[in-house]
Structure 1
């Protein structure tokens, strides 16, 4: 199909169950988005009638913040609709890239969107699907797109009355319960949810499975944490306004005119879309569209491959994450990815040439805006408004190239500088990171942990028969430097505890250790995790042994209380030992046992912090901020004061959420099984979030060299049968979430990179700290991925500016 209704088709942007969307060109040179519908819908008289009525009404929508419907032909063999083509990121992409706007900027956004909704209502329509991915931020302001014409008509034709039209998290409760018809109050509710998302970076009814979001919408209260409480003189009242918009009862909501009037009175300074950061995003979108148009042969439609259908959502809704901030260059990326080559985006296209080609009447449209039109037509909309959708529509990215693979027998990979270690229960093996060749292997039973340094590698062994012991190896050749095989013979133990005297309750069969500032601390204990453990080791205490990390000389001994050990942390000349006498309390929270703090130099107890065992890193001697994921919430804690700086619910499911403990470049990264997010380290606000990708199975996203690594679905949108993102490893720009690199590996259990020597986790004495360099930058240029006992090594990607 070369032409539709006088519009020459330039590029196929995508297709789905409802139809196709093309980039089209009018005779005047103006670029438009042309929607065509499927034959089976065109054959339905009810669909055509509804399409006819709503297309006619939509053409009368006139407002500075609505994308105009330019032309339509409901009587064509394949009905079609031509709309204004808007250049800029979606609101989802803008908030993800730049963070929430300031209160005054939010007010300008709210006033513009309220004016757009008022224009839709004045035409006798109700939008019914107002959400962040249906708002494109252009040079002229936010443009509300997609009045739901084709999609609503198709759904009504296919399903009959009573079907819910909208996106989870933005659908008014009366539509979910069947208690009301889609009137103007429906759009006020969606507008309130949209502005709450813009203000906080997350939707007010959370994310996750559709049925959970819908349940929270009808039975819960909106989460307005992070919404500004007031302006300079507490004059904004945002929480009150948005809370009213999100009222369950339609009659309790303000009118669109009232929202417009209120927001207009709160505006302050230049509008958000005229600020330099936003205009920069818009310029990049223009250049990407210019590249797409420049590649199309003159006079013919583009041979660009179709954008895959990204649905694959629960049966309660046919919504899936929209490609918020993604590029139209997806089509070229798909072609390159299928050939296994690195993909480039043609960013050098001449923007001025594009604007001349497109004509001065171009109202502007970004790839994201265009594909958002596709999403609404095909039913692939934004399910919750919190995701940037980068996983659904990738821009230019490189494909991973395997350098070598090795069967590890399930051993865990660990990097330190140029060394790669495999930590297995029966051996610790050092490999050359670049070749995979074995440098040395130390074979012994019951290895549970290893802490490498530049000269020494400390190995913890925990035997169910002998208990805990430490062996220290030469990092260069694997030779044993010293060992503490039998702690009962430690000369620092009191005389009454030496040997196997009757007064000795034993050291228990569990162990943990830490290394910092030249001191190695070994802790032995008995587990208190279950009733069986407590019965078999009644009254067992934990014991701490201090050793010189280089020589193995015994420095001190300390006997603690009757409890098991659940964590350790060593910093600032202190060793904190977290204990617990049970596993979990009735409310699912670890018991608030005291945190014992010892002086690392001599083992002297310094203090006990009540309830401190939940956060062993927070003790005297610690500095900075540590981030926690516990009991379904994320939080930031000042370690020196133990004060909680912020706390919030995660993006995605809360049950398995993890978070990077330390901030990198002002961001921390959290993940659930299928959501990866970047949060502002100071406020906890979401900076970007993508679905279809989560952390490796070992739990925490890996941040290295300006990238964050996770396990995701295929960038082209393929999905595993169980819905888990298990295709392979993604490397995403840590600041923006944009896909930089991907490798088809399968469900990775661990991803490690080579740290930069300047950030290798070494302490002042040259010994490795507990992190082992996990959070260093990818200075060695390698990425190691462990899947089902096989370790694959790839050349590390580079961050694009």
Structure 2
């Protein structure tokens, strides 16, 4: 059903109109602890905003629990959850805003459509195993995984509601004599030893969820929650109706002792060897087969079809009574978390060129770890008990860059190579720094065949060997961390151009040594600086453009460009400088020769357009809605014959960034929606939800589209099919709850993908096998 406004005479009829800065447009659902509203951010992002009931807002214990929920949800924001956008647990009515994810809950889907078919069941199992792997790696145990807390989005299941989860550093404790959770999906230790509940409890719940999805009933069902609890602790699960190929894995998940259950990684390994015909579609990318459009044929609805989520709006609310009746807190048992990956030791970058060279160390090749398929215990037969419909709390007496890094400079950004490499791939990661510098922030790099050139706040520039991560030279920025506003490096005129002093100075460095060849004060140009075809174009406030030779720094010409006021130039490797000026009624585009300042041509096009690519006389634009400021169309303009082809998007995209490759425009919105548009045929090829909020600009390289997340993840998507291929682990760093204003894009070259993470590291992964990330 669609969101509904607050009505009636109860307390929630007096719901606030705003939560923080977000206007609450209607209710998505109501649960025991709060109300979930549909809302929009100022940029147009659709959000699900949870506002707690007024009665609980006055309870200090509940505020502590809600604060814990916010912290846990922030830790696990990613591809398998609803990312947290904002929260205020200290407000008069505490609230938390997450991205709105279209799709029914598993509970709703099974109730409406019946049990899942075996192929869909396998994909669901794989998706939930991946979700638990990432949740546990973040140091969180969910503790209430159940069908109503699993959203079936178009790109795979999403786990929601961390209201009773337990982060590893929790300062809260489980109150003696009280338990929280939903009995049919609780593990035996949640009844017997609640203080010892760890990640294995979530695996037990996963087994129960899969049984429910396969049969419409749980493995432990009764009209009485007390009897359910007894069955969970003492009886064997009823697995009648579970497909034979999944029986051993599900039985192991439901083992009574935590140590007998598989980890999420072991579960995924077991799934891969279930049968030769196993097809995981979007959930285990390495096993993908079949039709390109099949990635939307999972249990969830297609996210690009109108009305696919209109009747599922209550999916964000907790089931009434699930744990509201017994206030409780969380156990803190360090060392109980499974599935984590040991961090690679950070390596310190080299010293400045004038000093002794840094010690070079090659990172050890990644060890190939594999697990044999785990054998399950015999399935338990028996009757199918009636499903217990209500979740309650039980007493304890019964015994979880805007493309800047992706090929910056005068080359063609649409053709990064993904060719084979003669040497075996060896992953590495480094902490890029320099002597005398307190480096902090994300590295930004440009790639050449033999060197990565990078900058970072506190590091003026560094040269990195792309094969092993060794730093050949590095220079500290003047003022160290005072240089907090860095811009991407550019290779032009045979020199490395970097910005220093907060962008107020342009330095041209020798790429081999890092020594300064020339320097120019550019403060008066307010960032209106462009590198085009070996020329640096600086636009002053008086609209006069000054052109410098990129190799020498000498002035080549100075003049105003006819018909253009304060032009900001863009270039896409064709040695033409484009100035784009949208005035609300149309857009004027001027093509300028950077060597002379002469205008080749000037056109006025319809709509508010932003240039996103140019090649062989063809320009590609995104069109912005004047009323909503969302991207609503893609425009292809051919300068040879003046034809303008406009392709409307099925749904407008908020905060979209775009990249062009071979007449296809890939658009990535601020909420993680990725769309492919063929501008020759005016067809929208596909749309998927990557679940990466506020991502980097996308990068199109070979058969892949790459994007980066604020938590350091890199996501790979099949450019032709729109299928998720894989993602790296999160590298959020110490400031895991902070929001990064701008992210550098991944850099794809020579079959590798280089990326920067929130922890300040620079790392590389094998671009030929994203499924292994």
Q: Structure 2-normalised TM-score?
A: 0.36
Name the structure where helix makes up a greater proportion of residues: 1
TM-score (norm 1): 0.35
